Amino acid sequence: MKHLLVIRVVVLSTLLYGPTLRAQTLFFVGTTDSDEIESVALIELDEKNETLKIVRKFKAGERPGYLVLSENVLYTVSTASKGADQHTLRAFRVLNDGEELEKIGEVSSKGLNPCHIAVGRDGKSLYTANYTSGSIAQYSIQPNGDLGSNQYFEQFTGNSVNQKRQESPHAHYINTTIDNQFVLTADLGTDKVMIHRIDNQGKMQTHKSQPYIELPAGSGPRHLEFHPNNKWIYVLNELSSTLASVKYENGSFEIINIVSTLPDDFQGTSSAAAVRIHPSGKYIYSSNRGSGSISMFEIGDQGRVTMAQNFGTNLGWVRDFNVTPSGDFILAGNLRSNKVALLKLGPSGLIKKYITSVDLPNPSCLVFYPSK
């Protein structure tokens, strides 16, 4: 009877006062500081008191510029520009509520400077994009979380109009569609999003009926974001600072609109970096390096986006950021000022204010650790 009473009190409290903010949100941050031995940090966000605190730092290889977390295993890439570490993918088991990392294996990415990784929606494969060499690879994931055999490799070819940045292929992002039917790769060097299908054995194959989505010349596609409804995909173009909305239906991909990520009155040089969707699916955000801002867009009924805000208070060079699972905050990594900033979001998705920051050398990727 005592246990029943406790349950009734908790339920009544929730009905009267509504859900409470999670007291603790943990997230891992990868860095690209080659001199930093402890290259991955675990940071705690107290959402109630709106504070940040570094819990612990880990030795996780040189320049782990991108991370992905799956089934309590943290996968990292090494974005080192030279030496043996410049093509390494690593797997770490997360222990003790995120406070320990135990290395369980590593493999070669089969290319130079892997800058992005993703785990398939079924949890059975890891995909990587090699920026400098312009190639992609797929690896099986073993039952213990370690990386297994190479299942697919492709070296891209081609170039585009920007002779400095698009002299050759530069694979910058790779991930599967929400339904795990296709793998999409943003190739900054050729202005294409490459399309591969996943066959019945879970391996990548060229999508012969539509091998790529072609962006306007000089766009430089960098990152993608997938709407949870599995109908819309958003392509962030680094070189043109634009966001393209793509309709995904029956295995085909069609660009439906392209908008600038910068205000009409912006003057100067800027480049887009990261794109994230709000948990509600109603809003999407992009970061702009150079202008030192994050833009917020409203997502319409047909998937088209309209800019609603450009926020630039104390942000600087934001290489990556993320929206908290609660949808109440944005965490942004300022690569040049060596800080991770906390921003407050309003109920309409607008950024209300800059709150605080914590010091961390060259933050470049932020991933959340699920609350227990």
Q: In this predicted model, what pLDDT tens digit does every residue of 25-63 receive, in sequence order?
A: 999 999 987 655 789 999 999 999 999 999 999 999 889
Q: In this predicted model, what pLDDT tens digit does every residue of 245-279 receive, in sequence order?
A: 999 999 999 999 999 999 999 999 999 999 999 99
* C-alpha pair distances (Å), 143 with each of 104, 120, 125, 146: 12, 14, 11, 7
Going by pLDDT thresholds of 50, 70 and 90, the confidence category of residue 9 is very low
* Residue 289 resides in a domain: yes
Decide: 213 and 157 in contact? Cβ < 8 Å: no
The pLDDT of residue 79: 80
- Reply yes or no on whether the pLDDT at 225 is more than 50: yes
* Residue 1 resides in a domain: no
* Residue 3 resides in a domain: no
The pLDDT of residue 237: 98
* Residue 7 resides in a domain: no
The mean pLDDT of 2-23, rounded to a whole number, is 40
* Residue 11 resides in a domain: no
Stretch (H or E) spanning 172: strand 171-176
In the block, which residue shows the tokens 């833009």? Answer: 295
The pLDDT of residue 35: 56
The mean pLDDT of 332-346, rounded to a whole number, is 95
Count of structural domains within the chain: 1
Question: 71: exposed, middle or buried (C-beta count within 10 Å: 0-12, 13-18, 19+)?
Answer: exposed
Question: 245: exposed, middle or buried (C-beta count within 10 Å: 0-12, 13-18, 19+)?
Answer: buried
- CA-nearest of 158, 161, 180 to 169 is 158
- CA-nearest of 352, 329, 336 to 48 is 329
Q: CA-to-CA distance for 229 and 177, rounded, in angstroms?
A: 11
* Residue 124 resides in a domain: yes
Mean of per-residue pLDDT scores for the chain: 92
* Residue 10 resides in a domain: no
Q: In this predicted model, what pLDDT tens digit does every residue of 56-96 receive, in sequence order?
A: 999 998 899 999 999 999 999 988 767 767 789 999 999 99
CATH of the domain at 319: 2.130.10.10
* Residue 17 resides in a domain: no
Q: In this predicted model, what pLDDT tens digit does every residue of 341-358 receive, in sequence order?
A: 999 999 999 999 999 999
Percent of the chain with pLDDT over 70: 92
For the CA atoms of 11, 13, 17, 23, what is the dihedral angle to 10 degrees? Answer: -90
Kindly write down the DSSP assignment for every residue of 202-262, as one continuous string.
Answer: S-EEE-TT--EEEPPTT--EEEEEE-TTSSEEEEEETTTTEEEEEEEETTEEEEEEEEESS
The pLDDT of residue 36: 57
Q: In this predicted model, what pLDDT tens digit does every residue of 196-223 receive, in sequence order?
A: 999 999 999 999 999 999 999 999 999 9
Residue type (1 letter), 164: K
The pLDDT of residue 269: 93
Q: Residue 28 belongs to what domain range?
A: 23-369
